[in-house]
Chains A and B, each alone.
Chain A
Amino acid sequence: MGNQTGSIVAIANQKGGVGKTTLAVHLAVAAARNHGQRVILVDLDPQGNATSWLLDGDLVDDVYRLMLLDEPPIKLVRGLRQWGIGLLGGNYRTGEALSMLAAVGKLGQVPQRIRPLARAADLVIIDMPPSRMAGFTEMLGSADWVIVPTKLERLSLEGVALLAQTVGDTDGPRLMGVVPNMCRARTNEHQDQMQDLTEAFGQAVWPPIPLTIRVTEASSYGTTLFDLVPDEAATYAMELIASRMMEAIR
C-alpha cells in the first residue's frame, strides 16, 4: 500500500483473557508519552474494552463506520488529549460490520480501510478480537507486525501457536514478540511454561509482566499503570516492552 509512513502493530492472541487490551492500551500510551510517537489505537475487538477503558465507559461505533461508510478513515479518529493518542473506538457493531462485509464477499476491503491510518500516524496499534471471527485474517493482514500476549498456561500457549500458524499462513505481519503476561515467577507451572515458550520462540519472548491487581485497578479507574503505580514491576515491564516495540519498528 503506497504512501504509508507509520507502522501498524496488531496485539493478538486467539485465546481470550490474556491481556491484549491491557497491552494495547499501555503500549499506545507509552509510545506516545515516552517515545514521542503519533499513535492511533484501533479497537477492533467487538467487546470494545479498550474503548470503554479510554472513554470512561463509553462505547462508540467508529470501526463500524470505518468498515461500512465511505468516510475518510482519519476523520473518524478521536483525539484523546489526556492520553496523547488518537482512538478509533469500537463496540458490538464492529462484529455486525464484519458480518455484513463477509455476507457480500468484501472482507478483502478491510486492509484498505485500516492501512490509510498509518499515513497519519507514526504508529497504529490494533487491539485484535479473540477467536477467528469473520474478518480476523484480513484484520491481521492489515498489520506490519504482531505482538502476542499470552498467559503462562496451556490454553493460552495453544493460542500463541495457533496465531503463529495464522501469521505464517498469511502473507501479512511479522511476529514481533511474545509477551508472557500475568506471570508468577515462583511457581513451578509458570517456570515450566516459560521454558516451553523460550524453547519455541527464543529471543522473541519479551519481558514478562508479573501478575498484579494493579492492572485491574487501572482499568477500573480508567487510568494506566504509568499513572497509577509508576514504580511497580508491572509498570517497568510495560515500559520495557514499549521500548522493545519501538526498537523493532525503527
Chain B
Amino acid sequence: MSQPKRKGGLRLDPSVVQFQQQAASNKAAQTPRQRYDAARTRVRADVPEWLRDELDAIAEELSTSRTQLGAFLWAWAATRYREGDADLEEILHTSMANSRSINVDVDLDLDWLVERHQNAVANSAEGPKCAK
C-alpha cells in the first residue's frame, strides 16, 4: 500500500527546496556518502613519475591502494622523524635548488635518493624488509 500524502502545511516551492539542497554546508540534505566525502581530508602532492609508479607497484604488492599506501607512508615517516630516526632538516636544506616554477621558490633535488632507491630495488630480490 502506498504511503498516504500529507495535506496542507508549509509547502515550499520545489525550486526553493532545490536551492537549499545545493548547499555544500546543508548536511541535512546530504547523502551518507556525501557526508563521508565532506569529512575526508584530502591532500594533493606533486611527485615525480618514477615515485608514482613505485607507489603503485608497492601498493599492488601489498594489496592496497596508492592512497592508502601514501597515507601510511607519510604517517610512518612522520613518526620516524619525530622519534629522531631521520635528520630531515639537514636533508631538506642540502637538497634544495632554486625552482624555475613561478609557483614555488625551491625544488628538492633528490638525485641521491633516487640512486639509493634504485640500489634498494636492485637488492630487494628477496622482498622488502623494514623495521616497524
- Across-interface contacts of B20 in A (CB, < 8 A): 185, 191, 194-195, 198
Verify B23–A188 contact, CB threshold 8 A.
yes
B9-44 interface bits toward A, Cβ cutoff 8 Å, 1 = contact, 0 = none: 011110110011011111000000000000000000
- Interface stretch (choices A91-99, A158-166, A202-210): A202-210
Verify A205–B25 contact, CB threshold 8 A.
no
Task: Give Cα distance in the complex from A42 to B101, angstroms.
Answer: 59
State whether A194 and B19 are in contact (beta carbons under 8 Å apart), knowing that A186-B24, A188-B24, A188-B25 are contacts in the complex: yes
Within 8 A of B (CB), among A39-56: none
Verify B16–A198 contact, CB threshold 8 A.
yes
Task: Give Cα distance in the complex from A194 to B17, angstroms.
Answer: 10
A183 at the interface (CB under 8 A from B): yes
Interface size class of A (residues with CB under 8 A): 10 to 19
B18 CB, min distance to chain A CBs, angstroms? 8
A180 CB, min distance to chain B CBs, angstroms? 8
- Across-interface contacts of A207 in B (CB, < 8 A): 13, 15-16
A240 at the interface (CB under 8 A from B): yes
Partner of B19 from the list A183, A188, A240 (CB cut-off 8 Å) is A183
The prevalent SS among residues of B at the interface is loop
- Across-interface contacts of B13 in A (CB, < 8 A): 203, 205-207, 244
Highest count of chain B CB atoms <10 Å: which of A183, A185, A194, A237: A185
- Across-interface contacts of A194 in B (CB, < 8 A): 16, 19-20
- Across-interface contacts of A186 in B (CB, < 8 A): 22-24
Task: Give Cα distance in the complex from A194 to B16, angstroms.
Answer: 8
Verify B12–A185 contact, CB threshold 8 A.
no
- Across-interface contacts of B19 in A (CB, < 8 A): 180, 183, 185, 194, 208
Residue of A nearest to B25 (CB): A188
Task: Give Cα distance in the complex from A186 to B19, angstroms.
Answer: 8
Verify A208–B15 contact, CB threshold 8 A.
yes
Residue of A nearest to B11 (CB): A203
- Across-interface contacts of B15 in A (CB, < 8 A): 207-208, 237, 240
- Across-interface contacts of B26 in A (CB, < 8 A): 191
Verify B10–A202 contact, CB threshold 8 A.
yes
Task: Give Cα distance in the complex from A188 to B22, angstroms.
Answer: 10
B88 CB, min distance to chain A CBs, angstroms? 38
State whether A203 and B24 are in contact (beta carbons under 8 Å apart), knowing that A183-B19, A194-B19 are contacts in the complex: no
Verify B16–A205 contact, CB threshold 8 A.
yes
A-B residue pairs in contact (CB < 8 Å), sample of 20: A180-B19, A185-B22, A185-B23, A186-B24, A188-B23, A191-B26, A194-B19, A194-B20, A202-B12, A203-B10, A203-B11, A203-B12, A203-B13, A205-B12, A207-B15, A208-B15, A208-B16, A208-B19, A237-B15, A240-B15
Q: Please name 13 further chain A to chain B contacts, defined as beta carbons within 8 Å, in addition to the given A188-B25, A207-B13, sorted by A numbering.
A: A180-B16, A180-B19, A183-B19, A185-B20, A194-B16, A195-B20, A198-B20, A202-B12, A203-B12, A205-B13, A207-B15, A207-B16, A240-B15
7 nearest A-B pairs in the assembled complex, by CB-CB distance: A185-B22, A207-B15, A191-B23, A185-B19, A208-B19, A188-B25, A202-B10
